[in-house]
Amino acid sequence: MTKRRRWILIVLGAAAVLFGVAFTQWQAAIKRNRSIPDDPFHIAGNLYYVGSTGVTSFLLTGPEGHVLIDGGFPETAPLILGSIAKLGFNITDVKVLLNTHAHSDHAGGLRELQEASGAELWVSEGDADVMAAGGRGDRALGPLGTLGYYLGGLKFAAPRIDHRFKDGETIRVGPIELTAHVTAGHTRGCTSWSFPVRDGDRELLAVEICSLTLFPLVKLVEPEAYPGIRSDFERSYAALRSLPADIFLASHGDMFSMQRKRGERAGAKDPVDPFIDRAGYLSFIDRAEARFREALAKQQ
Ligand SMILES: [Zn+2]
């Protein structure tokens, strides 16, 4: 090897190590910020917030058992268990576990929650393989995803998958009824959930948006990050707009201004009112689509 080539290799190696360290620290910072315990609270009817400050988890309670959507990071699972207990509910009454998408910040705690509850986990067909592999093989994340997985930040303990569902399927536990809307793009099986919530004499439709975030370096033109990612995103905007959402929820609190709305409850006529936000719901979809169009135009 020539002296010059040796130096090139040394510089490249050092750059790779530095990048690895920076990436790991970035992941750890995200995790810290999003794993702070948050006080659980009642949103409306049988719907409760049991997540951390950054990643959401929702509990739907019913006489024949409860449903829990999302497990946060692996580190978030004990917080969720604590929040459910604090509200006076029993984790063993959770009969069904659902997930928005198979990323470590929403699926990481599912295995621990599954072990604690004995609940059955339903996963979309599109996300089931990545879920079963503990986060490996997620092509929708682009090159940063593969790197992130092997650096450990995106890896999680794979839960047992009890059922796989398709777009439009309904999952029931007693009177609780949730419809799965596969709004793919962020992941192949990214699932938004809609469910009616009866609050006093009104029936409200709650919609939890999975995520519409497009990661950097994800290819939307051929060869696409995964075949069909572009049309998946396109379909997701239309599918979400078509839902008559009253209560707007999402997989991260900042996506639907959760802390602001929570603060506004004290001064509201009805504490549910701040969460009824069709305008915020539509503008979130509009903004996500605008960012997608911009990225797509650059790539074309
Ligand atoms: Zn995600």
In a domain, 14, yes or no: no
Q: Does residue 25 lie in a domain region? A: no
**Number of domains into which the chain is organized:** 1
Query: Which pLDDT does position 118 carry in this prediction?
Result: 98
Distance 137 CA to ligand 1 centre (A): 14
Percentage above 90 pLDDT, the chain: 76
Q: Is residue 26 part of a domain?
A: no
Cα(201) to ligand 1 centroid in Å equals: 35
100 C-alpha vs ligand 1 centroid, how far in Å?
8
**In sequence order, what DSSP letters do the residues of 156-186 get, joined into one string?**
-PPPPP-EEE-TT-EEEETTEEEEEEE--SS
Q: What is the pLDDT of residue 37?
A: 62
Among 33, 4, 41, smallest CA distance to 266 is for: 41
Q: What H or E segment, with its residue span, contains residue 236?
A: helix 229-241
* Assigned domain for 16 exists: no
**Residue 94: phi, psi to the nearest 5?**
-75, 115
> Residue 141 has what pLDDT?
84
Give the Cα separation of 197 and 240 in Å (integer): 18
Picking from 74, 69, 26, 22, the residue whose alpha carbon sits closest to that of residue 50 is: 69
Q: What is the pLDDT of residue 24?
A: 74
User: Ligand 1 centroid to 95 CA: how many Å?
Assistant: 24
As a whole number of angstroms, the distance between CA 257 and CA 288 comes to 15
- Domain assignment present for residue 130? The answer is yes
CATH number of the domain to which 294 belongs: 3.60.15.10
- Could you tell me the distance, in angstroms and rounded to a whole number, from the CA of residue 186 to the centre of ligand 1? 7
Q: How far is the CA of 12 from the centre of ligand 1 (A)?
A: 30
Q: How far is the CA of 214 from the centre of ligand 1 (A)?
A: 9
**Which residues partner with 205 through β-bridges?**
196
State the chain's maximal CA–CA distance in angstroms. Answer: 80
- DSSP one-letter string for 79-99: HHHHHHHHTT--GGGEEEEE-
Task: Give the dihedral sign, CA 142/102/244/270.
Answer: negative
Question: What is each CA distance from 6 to 13, 17, 20, 190, in whole angstroms?
Answer: 10, 17, 21, 45
Domain contains 62: yes
Q: Is 93 exposed, middle or buried (0-12, 13-18, 19+ CB in 10 A)?
A: middle
Confidence class for position 35, pLDDT limits 50, 70, 90: low
Distance 210 CA to ligand 1 centre (A): 8
- The burial of 58, by beta-carbon neighbours within 10 Å (0-12 exposed, 13-18 middle, 19 or more buried), is given as buried
CB-facing half-sphere around the CA of 147: CA atoms within 13 A? 14
For residue 168, is pLDDT > 70? yes
Per-residue confidence band for 29, with pLDDT thresholds at 50, 70 and 90: low
224 CA distance to ligand 1 middle (Å): 18
Q: What is the 55 CA–ligand 1 centroid distance (Å)?
A: 10
Q: Looking at per-residue confidence, does 39 or 245 come out higher?
A: 245
Alpha-carbon distance values, 74 to 106, 107, 234 (Å): 9, 8, 32
What is the per-residue pLDDT for 149?
74
Cα–ligand 1 centroid distance for 142 (angstroms):
13
Q: With respect to residue 11, please indicate whether it lies within any of the assigned structural domains.
A: no
Residue 157 located in a structural domain: yes
Domain that holds residue 281: 35-299
89 CA to middle of ligand 1, Å?
28
Q: Residue 70's pLDDT is what? A: 98
pLDDT tens digits for range 64-105: 999 999 999 988 999 999 999 999 999 999 999 999 999 999
pLDDT at residue 137, rounded to an integer: 87
d(CA 124, ligand 1 centre) in Å: 15
DSSP per position, 95-107: EEEE-S-SSHHHH
Distance 36 CA to ligand 1 centre (A): 18
Cα of 152 vs centre of ligand 1, distance in Å, is: 16
Ligand 1 geometric centre to CA of 63 (Å): 32
Q: Does residue 111 contact residue 158 with C-beta atoms inside 8 Å?
A: yes
Tens digits of residue pLDDT in 247-291 = 999 999 999 999 999 999 999 999 999 999 999 999 999 999 999
Mean pLDDT across the chain, nearest whole number? 93
Taking the alpha carbons of 89, 98, 78, 205 in that order, is the dihedral positive or negative?
A: negative
Backbone angles phi, psi at 167, to 5 degrees: -55, 135
Is pLDDT of 241 > 90?
A: yes
CA–centroid distance, 82 to ligand 1, in Å, is 24
Residue 152 is predicted with a pLDDT of: 66
Please tell me the distance from the alpha carbon of residue 56 to that of residue 63, in angstroms, as a whole number.
Answer: 23
For residue 103, how far is its CA from the centre of ligand 1 (angstroms)?
5
